[in-house]
């Protein structure tokens, strides 16, 4: 046996009769360095995903669907496992419920902890936080999963590069902060594509069934998991077939589909047992996500080309490229992605890269067909993109003969790809970790308004998902849309919220103008440093910018608290309103207070 050492790699040659086997082993110093980098990346991933995870709490409507996901588990402790809300599959509710029970059980080891039902009724913000931990944990664990797959595809360098790109991906970090299934779906897609690739490499009934079970479980987390059947069809070995026979499924593919279907039914039983609700939800969701909006309807008499142009222009194809990918992963990654998709198809082809490329394109087309502009629709692709782009970087430096130069350039490319999204992650987390303006407003009202204060809240025209909470003991007065006769309804205070971009915080101009003579500003809470700033997603009540973070200091809309004067002229000068304490300087005859 001979040993040769070069560039921290030991080549071991072993003689077996007339054959010589050469194996390479990484020296201990290289292994230690790689392990240190890996642990640092996992630590970075966790830090970015858990920092600011209490965003907007204790406001339970800080993110749409979080409150509802938990409320629809209320019957689970008593054995009623039908969530009766099928916007998400049954399995996701079961996973969230099991996770919440686990966290409460662990918490109960050293602190007095109420049971799940009581906690759900009295401490919903805590359960939302625990649920967000699940998303952040899934997002963090996806980094070592990508590392493992990358190592098997192309060695330690590829694994670390892919892990670095995923750890710092802004879109993945952002969506790890919410109680939603997107990061779990991303992990499920990654594992499923890997199992499909293994099945392609080693055909067999067992591998097909394992991949089918993974697809079924992933679909049980979020319905788009069913799209994995397309790469499953591509992966089908169809050994020995020619011509039209290659288009027909093999027995193994049929077993895979059967395993996926059975897994979906077993883990989501009420999709079958409550078929009427399943049908209604499917109809509603399809229309909400894919129906053509009135403003996107082609002009009467438009030709086929005009209709096609209108369709592409009004759907989310461009949005996911120019916003979701561009600002979610950074400009460098966005520019590299098309080439990475092509490089994955070069020969000799590796099944995982081919399947990842095919699935990414197919998933993008499905998401882009929707007129809904939500960046999180692209989040499930992020782990696959990290591996594809890392492989592109590896291929780009491969022609260099010097291992030292090749390694340095590879590291430099990865750093350049990760720089912009990492900066976005830090900017996002810094804002998310600050107290929401709506929470500040509620605290101020709790401290300064009298017990039993009658409060009207204005700003949510379409859906009341962005309103500040009224303080305990206060009465919230329900108003018809656009009402101006507040005095007759007993209103003593008015709280408004508005935002320069997000439509879920908009005042009705005619209403506020009619009320203005009767409103005396007591407090204002602004998310901006000097005025409207940041770029937000128009169709999501997400009060942290998606990009353009400068000038935004905290989440939330601009919230103002007014005293409402019922006198005909609105009052002259500053009045004492029911004993309100008026902090801060006097400005234009009203007490003015801005949150720090």
- Please give the helix or strand (H or E) that residue 5 lies within, else none: strand 2-6
Please tell me the predicted confidence (pLDDT) of residue 239: 52
Please tell me the predicted confidence (pLDDT) of residue 361: 97
Please tell me the predicted confidence (pLDDT) of residue 61: 92
Domain ranges of the chain: 2-28, 437-591
The residue among 89, 375, 76 whose CA lies nearest residue 215 is 89
Please tell me the predicted confidence (pLDDT) of residue 155: 92
What residues pair up with 495 in beta bridges, in sequence order?
457, 561
- Please give the helix or strand (H or E) that residue 97 lies within, else none: helix 90-107
CA distance 432 to 170: 13
Please tell me the predicted confidence (pLDDT) of residue 568: 61
Please tell me the predicted confidence (pLDDT) of residue 461: 83
Sign of dihedral through CA atoms 387, 391, 397, 401? positive
Please tell me the predicted confidence (pLDDT) of residue 586: 31
- Which tokens is 226 given? 């069913």
Please tell me the predicted confidence (pLDDT) of residue 329: 97
CA distance 301 to 292: 17
Antiparallel, parallel or unpaired: β 493-498 and 454-458 = parallel
Sign of dihedral through CA atoms 356, 361, 363, 367? positive
- Which tokens is 318 given? 């461009």
Parts of the chain with a pLDDT under 50: 1-9, 11-24, 571-596
Task: Give, in order, the Cα–Cα distances in Å from 19 to each of 3, 15, 16, 257, 429.
Answer: 16, 6, 5, 45, 58
Contacts of residue 516, Cβ cutoff 8 Å, sequence gap at least 6: none
Please tell me the predicted confidence (pLDDT) of residue 390: 97
At 466, give phi and psi (nearest 5°).
-120, 5
What residues pair up with 25 in beta bridges, in sequence order?
10
Asked if 125 and 469 touch (Cβ cutoff 8 Å), the reply is no
Asked if 189 and 380 touch (Cβ cutoff 8 Å), the reply is yes
- pTM (2 d.p.): 0.89
Please tell me the predicted confidence (pLDDT) of residue 300: 74
Asked if 380 and 363 touch (Cβ cutoff 8 Å), the reply is yes
Helix (H, G, I), strand (E, B) or coil at 328: helix
Please tell me the predicted confidence (pLDDT) of residue 243: 65
CA distance 91 to 95: 6
Please tell me the predicted confidence (pLDDT) of residue 463: 78
What residues pair up with 5 in beta bridges, in sequence order?
10
């Amino acid at each position: 046996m001979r040993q040769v050492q070069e560039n921290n790699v030991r080549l071991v040659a072993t003689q077996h009769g007339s054959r010589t086997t050469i194996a390479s082993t990484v020296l201990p110093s290289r292994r230690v360095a790689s392990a240190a980098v890996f642990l640092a990346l996992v630590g970075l991933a966790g830090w970015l995903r858990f920092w600011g995870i209490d965003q907007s709490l204790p406001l339970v409507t800080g993110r749409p669907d979080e409150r509802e996901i938990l409320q629809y588990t209320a019957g689970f402790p008593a054995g009623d496992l039908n969530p009766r809300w099928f916007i998400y599959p049954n399995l996701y509710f079961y996973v969230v419920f099991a996770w919440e029970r686990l966290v409460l059980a662990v918490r109960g080891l050293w602190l007095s902890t109420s049971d799940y039902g009581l906690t759900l009724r009295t401490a919903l913000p805590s359960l939302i936080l625990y649920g967000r931990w699940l998303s952040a944990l899934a997002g963090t664990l996806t980094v070592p999963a990508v590392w493992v797959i990358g190592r098997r595809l192309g060695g330690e360098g590829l694994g670390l590069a892919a892990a670095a790109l995923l750890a710092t991906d802004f879109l993945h970090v952002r969506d790890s902060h919410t109680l939603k299934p997107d990061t779990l779906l991303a992990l499920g897609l990654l594992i499923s594509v890997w199992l499909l690739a293994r099945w392609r490499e080693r055909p067999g009934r067992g591998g097909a069934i394992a991949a089918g079970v993974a697809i079924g479980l992933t679909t049980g987390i979020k319905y788009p998991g069913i799209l994995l059947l397309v790469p499953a069809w591509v992966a089908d070995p169809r050994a020995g077939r020619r011509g039209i026979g290659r288009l027909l499924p093999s027995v193994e593919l049929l077993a895979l589909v059967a395993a996926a279907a059975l897994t979906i039914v077993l883990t989501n039983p009420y999709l079958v047992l409550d078929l009427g609700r399943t049908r209604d939800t499917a109809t509603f969701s399809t229309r909400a996500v894919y129906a053509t909006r009135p403003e996107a309807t082609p002009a009467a008499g438009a030709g086929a080309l005009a209709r096609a142009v209108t369709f592409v222009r009004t759907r989310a194809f461009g949005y996911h490229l120019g916003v979701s990918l561009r600002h979610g992963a950074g400009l460098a990654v966005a520019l590299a992605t098309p080439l990475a998709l092509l490089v994955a198809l070069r020969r000799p082809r590796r099944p995982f890269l081919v399947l990842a490329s095919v699935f990414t394109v197919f998933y993008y087309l499905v998401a882009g067909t929707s007129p809904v502009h939500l960046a999180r629709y692209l989040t499930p692709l992020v782990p696959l993109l990290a591996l594809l782009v890392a492989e592109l970087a590896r291929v780009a430096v491969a022609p260099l003969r010097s291992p030292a130069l090749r390694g340095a350039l590879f590291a430099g490319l990865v750093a350049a790809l990760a720089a912009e999204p990492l900066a976005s992650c830090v900017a996002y987390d810094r804002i998310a970790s600050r107290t929401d303006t709506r929470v500040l407003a509620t605290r101020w009202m709790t401290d300064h308004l009298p017990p039993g204060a009658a409060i009207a809240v204005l700003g949510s025209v379409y859906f009341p998902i962005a309103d500040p909470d009224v303080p305990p003991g206060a009465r919230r007065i329900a108003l018809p849309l656009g009402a101006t006769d507040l005095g007759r309804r007993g209103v003593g205070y008015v709280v408004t919220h508005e935002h320069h971009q997000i439509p879920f915080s908009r005042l009705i101009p005619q209403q506020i103008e009619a009320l203005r003579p009767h409103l005396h500003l007591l407090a204002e809470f602004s998310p901006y440093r000097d005025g409207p700033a940041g770029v937000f997603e128009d169709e999501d009540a997400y009060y942290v910018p998606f990009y353009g973070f400068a000038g935004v200091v905290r989440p939330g809309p601009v919230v103002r608290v007014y005293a409402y004067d019922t006198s005909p002229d609105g009052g002259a000068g500053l009045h004492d309103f029911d004993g309100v304490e008026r902090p801060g300087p006097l400005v234009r005859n009203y007490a003015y207070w801005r949150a720090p």
